[in-house]
Amino acid sequence: MNRLVKTISLIVSVTFFLVACDDAEKTVKKAFLQIGEFTITKVNNDLTLIRDGAGRTLALAPREAPTPEGYEPHMIVRTPVKKVVAYGSFDVATLRVLGVLEETLVGVTSPKEKWFVDDVKNGMESGKIVYLGTSNAIDFERLKQQQPELVLTWDPSIIPMLNDLGIACVITSTPVAMCLNARMSFVKFLAPFFERQKEADEFFERVRSSLADIKERTAGMWPKPEVMWGDMYEKRVLVEPGNAWIGELIVLTQSGYLFEDVYGASCIEISMERFLYSGKDADIYFTYRTPQNGATSKAALAKLNPLMASIKPLGSEGKVYSPLPHYSQSGDKLDEIFTELSAIMHPDLYPGYELRYFQSLPETDPPKEINLHE
């Protein structure tokens, strides 16, 4: 009953959000906009204040405007930003949405061979975009040489170093996972840095339209598939909590999310016992692992962690889906990803749909070919 009440409540909330969002935003966005833990306050044409994921306030000012008073130099960002470093693939995808990736991105924390975004790969080949080292081992001398005006990161530990270098920094993650509204609205948070509000609004409308279509298609669907999303590792079990956009989207598609009662950060740790208990009821299981990380078949997953073999989706009665390698870098395609997830949970409503961001795992890996000439 609690799950039913929560589901009805979420659907009502999202319905109100889809219908009334335009009018509400027109009323407040001139002065104040809240996106999850992030806020934007437009003081006047020469000053916009933003609060990032670490609760820090930065002052945004056009390049020709007077210097804002009361802020340290590293807390002032001149707009539009001309050079930016980005840690996360979702931040890079947001730059693509805003149409500024090619002209502004100068540094990333993944090597070229791990990128599937042509603009990034081309920029790294030309030398415009530099690999700065892994996120926990940044080469700050190389970062300084790139002369970024802004660093987008999830790592608050680098703030003191960037302050010393006089480089503004925005924390783009929060201790609590982004809800569905925050995930699709995050582009509006970054838009003022680049003066690309129009592009942000257009993206938001596209994603909102996809949610409206999903809601209409799945209305009244029964029975509801039971879904779980996470993974068991050698010493930890991580899942997507119910307050994350993934959990909320699953519920919106008239499906049951087995970790709906879990609250906290994305990839939150739970007990092995809870994971296995929920797995007995699951019809669909989304693993974090890509094919490159061992998710090639149900049998391969069970071999990685024999305890997982007991969950229903790894048997013949359920389905297991693995994200394809480019999925994590496709945040500019949220509308397509949302639709694909809905199609996975309700394939009868999407006849002929071909997966582009996930793959359904077979029962076993295909037999290896034997080379008789070896």
Query: Is 31-194's fold the same as 217-360's?
Result: yes
> Can you spell out the DSSP letters for 304-329?
H-GGGGGSGGGSTTSEEEEE-TTGGG
pLDDT of residue 1: 45
Q: Which of 13, 60, 69, 22 is nearest to 39 (CA)?
A: 60
What is the full DSSP assignment across 119-173? HHHHHHHHTSSEE---TTS--HHHHHHH--SEEEES-GGGHHHHHHHT-EEEE--
- 10-residue averages of pLDDT along the chain (374 residues): 47 44 42 91 97 97 96 96 97 98 98 96 98 94 97 96 96 95 97 98 98 97 96 95 98 97 97 97 97 94 93 94 97 98 97 98 82 51
Q: What is the pTM of this model?
A: 0.89
* CATH code reported for the domain at 31-194: 3.40.50.1980
Instruction: Please tell me the CATH code under which domain 217-360 is placed.
Output: 3.40.50.1980
* pLDDT score, position 26: 41
Residue 369 pLDDT:
59
Give the C-alpha separation, 282 to 276, whole Å. 10
What single-letter DSSP state applies at residue 338? H
Q: Specify the DSSP class assigned to residue 244.
A: S
Domain boundaries, the chain: 31-194, 217-360
Tokens 């002209």 sit at which residue? 103
> Any idea what DSSP says for residue 223?
S
* Cβ(335)–Cβ(348) below 8 Å: no
pLDDT at 18: 44
